[in-house]
Amino acid sequence: MNKFVDWKNRKKANKIINILNDKGYNAILAENLDDAKDIVLNSVEKGSSVAVGGSVTLSTMGLVEHFRNGDYKFFERYKQPTWEETVEVYRQSMLADYLVTGTNVITENGELVNRDSSGNRAAGVVFGPKKVVIVCGINKVVPTLDDAFKRLREIAPMNCERVGHNTPCRETGECEDCQIQQRMCNYTTIVHNGRKFENRITIVIIPEHIGF
């Protein structure tokens, strides 16, 4: 049965690749997770400054460790002693040569939809870093913006559990649209196309279920 699922995922991946390229992005199909990592590393120049967005996909690929220990100026967001210093790294990251990140959703119309706690990742995709490299599993491709917003609500409790935010959705497993400071869902952005700054946004699509 898996070979038929793989076949369907690849068909879906090829379709979204064509849509994204037509929308002005630089979209690339990866064969698998390892191939995606190679594509990302070939897209990021050594010696450049690199920021990363919080992402299960990037962690799974080992990209954070690679940028941290490689020939790059890495904006270290994970090892700051205080929250204030972490925020300062977020601010400085807006001037990075590259932002490497995942995305929450891609619609079949080629829109990138992201929802953030602090806003640094979503904002960086929109503007700031010279180049953006996005890695996305096929499970994050949905038909419409309505489906995108539905997906954002579905994954919110898992994100809160991942980072340990004390939110109501960690108790219920469902988005409660809470109004507390530790709320994860504070900022939502939509990128409609990649045309404004030519070749700024590269999107690597993996025909597998990666992250959530």
DSSP for 85-149?
HHHHHHHHHTT-SEEEEE-SEEETTS-EEEEESSSHHHHHHHSSSSEEEEEEEGGGEESSHHHHH
In the structure encoding, which two tokens stand for residue 67, read together? Answer: 């940028």
Q: pLDDT tens digits, residue range 114-161?
A: 999 999 999 999 999 999 999 999 999 999 999 999 999 998 888 888
Predicted local distance difference test score (pLDDT) of residue 126: 97
- With a cut of 50, which residues of the chain have pLDDT below it? none
Predicted local distance difference test score (pLDDT) of residue 1: 55
Predicted local distance difference test score (pLDDT) of residue 165: 85
CATH domain 2-206 topology? Rossmann fold (3.40.50)
94 alpha carbon, distance to own chain's centre: 15
Per-residue DSSP letter, 58: H
* C-beta separation of 28 from 202 below 8 A: yes
Angle at 61 between CA 115 and CA 129, to 5 degrees: 50
The single-letter code of the amino acid at 162 is R
The radius of gyration of the chain's CA atoms, rounded to the nearest angstrom, is 17
The SS3 of residue 158 is: helix
Instruction: State phi, psi for 85 to the nearest 5 degrees.
Output: -70, -30
End-to-end CA distance of the chain: 22
Q: In whole angstroms, how far apart are CA 133 and each of 52, 83, 211?
A: 9, 26, 16
Predicted local distance difference test score (pLDDT) of residue 143: 97
Per-residue DSSP letter, 181: T
Report the candidate in 117, 104, 107, 94 with the shortest Cα–Cα distance to residue 187.
117
DSSP for 24-51?
T-EEEE-SSHHHHHHHHHHHS-TTSEEE
Query: Pairing mode, if any, of strands 73-74 and 49-52?
Result: parallel
pTM: 0.92
Q: Which H helix or E strand runs over 10?
A: helix 2-22
